[in-house]
Amino acid sequence: MSERSNPRYVGFAIETTCPRCTRLVPLAPMQASARCGACDHELELSDKLWIGLLRVAEDLDERLASRSPAIEGDRSLGGLRVHYAIWRQPPRCERCEIELDHAAVIEGAPHGSICSGCGEPAIDFPVPDSIASVITTAKQVFVCDPQRFAANPSRRTWTLRLRGRTPAQRRRALEQARTRSPPSG
Ligand SMILES: [Zn+2]
Ligand SMILES: [Zn+2]
């Protein structure tokens, strides 16, 4: 059996400010656009934004802990000023907070499910290739009822499954291997 590293999960809440009316706009995961709930302005979300955000998650990977307090910050990503909160959590129902069933998830394919606690529809789907080819640890996204995501800004969290070593962890492993076995001859 080939070795497969254990997945780990990161929770996200991401928002930006509408350039037209300055209201906060929550960003649903890996989307190409977001619509301001107040003025209907459509914001374009580039792959650069998502790649930059996942880099932040990779950099924070070992420091992530519970949701309160989450690690928060602001970055300019893909031409937008983005506020992020990132924490460690398995995929959860956003409505009732019960852990979503993620044992049977097939990475790389979209999959719908229903929260066993409250019946809320949830989906998981693969990180798009254009993003996953750059951030190779990013695998699968979990989110509750994505249609209602934009309509209700209080519901704006989602979860990412990561697998494998981040660039920093790979670098460290290489350095450790080098100091452990100095070249002979
Ligand atoms: Zn607006
Ligand atoms: Zn639920």
Q: Tens digits of per-residue pLDDT, 29-65?
A: 999 999 998 999 999 999 999 999 999 999 998 888 8
The per-residue pLDDT for 184 is: 63
The per-residue pLDDT for 3 is: 47
Q: Which ligand is nearest to the CA of 93?
A: 2
Q: How far, in Å, from the CA of 144 to the mean position of ligand 2?
A: 9
Q: Which ligand is nearest to the CA of 23?
A: 1
The closest of 160, 115, 156, 152 to 135, measured between CA atoms, is 160
Question: Which alpha helices (H) appear in 108-153, and where do they start and end?
Answer: 129-132, 146-149
CA dist 116 to 23, 93, 95, 98, 121, Å?
34, 9, 12, 8, 10
Out of 131-135, 147-151, 154-158, which region has the weakest mean confidence (pLDDT)? Answer: 147-151
Q: Which ligand is nearest to the CA of 145?
A: 2
Out of 59-73, 78-92, 147-161, which region has the weakest mean confidence (pLDDT)? Answer: 147-161
Reported residue count of the chain is 185
Q: How far, in Å, from the CA of 115 to the mean position of ligand 2?
A: 5
The per-residue pLDDT for 5 is: 80
Is it the case that residue 155 has pLDDT exceeding 80?
A: no
The per-residue pLDDT for 2 is: 41
Mean pLDDT in the chain? 88
Q: Are 167 and 35 in contact (CB under 8 A)?
A: no
Which of the pair, 138 or 61, is modelled with greater confidence?
138
Q: How far, in Å, from the CA of 150 to the mean position of ligand 1?
A: 12
Positive or negative, the Cα torsion across 25, 31, 32, 37? negative
Could you tell me the end-to-end alpha-carbon distance of the chain, in angstroms, rounded to an integer?
36
Q: Which ligand is nearest to the CA of 100?
A: 2
Is it the case that residue 20 has pLDDT exceeding 60?
A: yes
Mean pLDDT of 95-123: 89
The per-residue pLDDT for 6 is: 85
Is it the case that residue 123 has pLDDT exceeding 60?
A: yes
Q: How far, in Å, from the CA of 103 to the mean position of ligand 2?
A: 17
Phi, psi for residue 147 in degrees, rounded to 5: -65, -35
DSSP code of 119? -
AA identity, residue 34: A
Q: How far, in Å, from the CA of 18 to the mean position of ligand 2?
A: 30
